[in-house]
Chain A
Amino acid sequence: MANDVFAKSLLTRRQALALGASAALAGSLPRIAFAADEKVTLWHGWTGADNTTALNGVIDTFNKGGKGVTIEPTGYDWDTLFSKWVVSSAGGRAPDLVLFHITELPEFATRKVIRPIDDVVASSGLDLSQVPDAGRTGVTFDGKVYAAPLDVHPLGFYYNVDMVQEAGLDPTKPPKTGEEFLEWAKKLTVKDGGGKVTRYGFELPNTWATARWIWFSLMYQFGGTFLDDKGLAAVDSEASQKALQYLVDLINVHGVTNPEVGGNKGEDAFASKQVAMKFIGPWEVNLRMAQKMNFMTAQLPVFGAKPAVWANSHCMAVSKQKNDDKLAADGTFMKWFFDNFAAPATTVGIIPQSKAVRESAAFTGTEQYKYFKSFVDDLPNIVYEPLIPQYLSVFSFDKPTPLVTNLQAALSGSKPVPDALKAMKEGLDAQLKKG
């Protein structure tokens, strides 16, 4: 009897255990699904091999951090990224997060493919007070914050130390003024016995965007602005003419540069020793180090009345979606990325916007920092291109816009500077009035 009771009670216990285990398993399944990481898609334009590796490495670290969010990155070249993004938004399949430049933000905000993120900033604790005013203004549109500003990449001054020493110049004292720069450029320009230039002092290519950035910096240094108070082009101003004439004179009067040297894809006039100095962003630091070049960087010389240097910045925004289900996950990654930006900044060659990150040992302790320092020093002088909704068409890299075509015409000598800038203004005004 007792055995029967025992047997019964044992069975009951087994049944209870089985039932309990089943219940626990059944209960845990939805919990497992709930606890699974929220997948957040991120589209970016950092397609260079090193950049993609750097970004993916940082994202791997985040994904393994157990924050309940998994980032799935996809890289496209910038043009493809923008067209795919807008088309995907129209089809309701936009990525969750997108990384682009702050100068493009007004265009995407106007097209309503991104949403304001004041709520995400507040809930995630992303500390925008770490960002300089220019960066905060850059991500604000119609009084609302639309993106997290991640980095800043100003134009800087690169020079070949060996060539500078050979020319009898002191590489520890780079030129600070237009006169000093011209002196260096003349001494660094080398001619053969027949008077033919074998190396130019300075690289000023007539292709890609470099000439645009240099002229833009000089225009502000001479006291000009790109737009006037009415939002129309002010590129025919005296300051703008002075800036462009200075560059044209470097070619035609002083012979220290040639717009036909360097600039195209695949060409590297600096590494192939066709030029001794160039102005470009911090993103070339890693390339030059990998090439084992004996180079140094410095702040942009002041050619005009005050320092000013072209810059742009990457930012991360949230795509407009049908619902806000992933906002918390978006915010978790944005804050983490903003706070841990030293690693991607170092590998990509950009300067963190966050003061805390910029001054952290993770950034200042890197071997690249001795080159980055001049860019950091120039941060108070940065000028962003105008934050306008027509940015992509006005400042297009790959369309013969009024800006590019007339700048090229002035540098190649096919149009005098005043004519080129007058034609540029007319073309730009037509674009800007389009709205």
Chain B
Amino acid sequence: MTSLASQPAGRSRARRAAAQEGGAVRSGMTLAAYLFLSPYLALFIAFMLMPTLAAVGISFMRWDILGTPEFIGFDNYRQIFADPLFLTAIKNTFYFVFLTAIPMVVLGLALAMLLDQKLKGTAFVRTVVFLPYVVMVSTVGILWGWLFDKGTGLVNYYLTTIGIEPIAWLKDPHWSMPALAITTIWWTVNTNMIIFLAALQDIPEELHDAATLDGAGPWQRFVYITLPLLRPAMALVTALTIINGWRVFGQAYVMTQGGPEASTFVIVQYIYLTAFQNFEMGPAAAAGVVLLLITLVFSLAQMKLMKAI
């Protein structure tokens, strides 16, 4: 009796002890997790979160760095939206995102599928394709500046061999943004390729084998196996491409300085020059907040869209 009665009590004690022990383990693990995260979190808070919050605050101030900031409400936002140059910068940046987003995703995937083949020398080709990513933006800009030159550039040389008249890529307002888009795709498509390649290698071979046995051809396997399983990678790649597109700066700054006729003037250049050439920190911060909101809206819309597919 005693033993029977004491059994549940003993079990519950054991459960409590186990729970306590488990809790201790869990809290220990939580602490460990935080400790592992802390180096990144500290840097994130110091160099991302705090400056972002500070920028939001500065966007409501009049401040030239040297003086004392003065609260002026939404005046900076009114100023930038009344500035035709800012509106041009938004329009141009949107055009850049439009020109780069789809090719960056499609080409990234195509390259990844090509390099996913088990052929001799694939590792070497992968390295070659990834190589432009490690080149500095100034070098990329100067290099493509030469390639796009109307008189002596290699691009026009090949165009003329197929009967196309030379194009003043960086000096014609109609061609300057496509030229920046081509440069950017060459320079950064490889990051998308790497993400897709990793995702492709995660797809179990058995699925393809089973589908092949069932009579599925390469296109059917791509549409019904590869693409659905690549959805998380596709979501990530698309989001990153769009966000990076909105943040474009270096290529435009080195290759065209925003010209000709403001055709490549982008939002980040507006922010940089307003802040560090005109020393108008308020409007610069306001433009930064607008850029943050634009990328946020695009990212959320893109996430919703990916969920819906």
Contact = CB atoms under 8 A, between A and B. Distances in A.
Interface of A: 79, 82-83, 86-87, 89-90, 111-113, 205-208, 259-261, 263-267, 269, 272, 274, 392-393, 396-400, 404-405, 408-409, 412, 414
B142 interface: yes
B258 A399 contact: yes
Nearest to A269: B151
A355 to B, nearest CB: 35
B242 to A, nearest CB: 25
B157 interface: no
A1 to B, nearest CB: 80
Nearest to A396: B277
25 contacts: A90-B65, A90-B66, A206-B171, A207-B171, A208-B257, A259-B171, A260-B168, A260-B171, A261-B151, A263-B171, A265-B254, A267-B145, A267-B146, A269-B151, A392-B277, A393-B278, A398-B273, A400-B85, A400-B88, A400-B258, A400-B261, A405-B261, A408-B260, A408-B261, A412-B171
B259 interface: yes
B149 to A, nearest CB: 5
A202 B164 CA distance: 25
B66 to A, nearest CB: 5
A207 B152 contact: no
A111 B149 CA distance: 40
Interface residues of B, number: 36
Contact of B170 (A113, A207, A404): A207
Contacts of A400: 85, 88, 258-259, 261-262, 265
B251 interface: no
Given A86-B66, A260-B172, A265-B145, A207 B257 contact: yes
Contacts of A82: 276-277
Given A82-B277, A399-B277, A261 B66 contact: no
Chief secondary structure at chain B's binding surface: loop
Given A207-B170, A274-B152, A79 B66 contact: no
A207 B260 CA distance: 7
A267 B149 contact: yes
B250 interface: no
B260 A83 contact: no
Contacts of A408: 259-261
B126 interface: no
Given A86-B65, A266-B142, A400-B261, 7 more contacts: A205-B171, A207-B170, A392-B278, A393-B278, A400-B85, A400-B258, A405-B262
B171 A264 contact: yes
Contacts, number: 98
Contacts of A396: 273, 277
A412 B65 contact: no
Contacts of B278: 392-393
A409 B261 contact: yes
A86 B275 CA distance: 11
A397 B170 CA distance: 16
**3 shortest A-B CB distances, which residue pairs?**
A400-B262, A260-B168, A83-B276
Contacts of A207: 170-171, 256-257, 259-260
Contact of B173 (A205, A404, A412): A412
A316 to B, nearest CB: 21
Contacts of B269: 399
Interface in B275-306: 275-279
Nearest to B258: A400
Contacts of A263: 171
Contacts of B279: 86, 111
Q: Which of A86, A260, A274 is most buried by chain B, counting CB atoms within 10 A of its CB?
A: A260
A267 B269 CA distance: 23
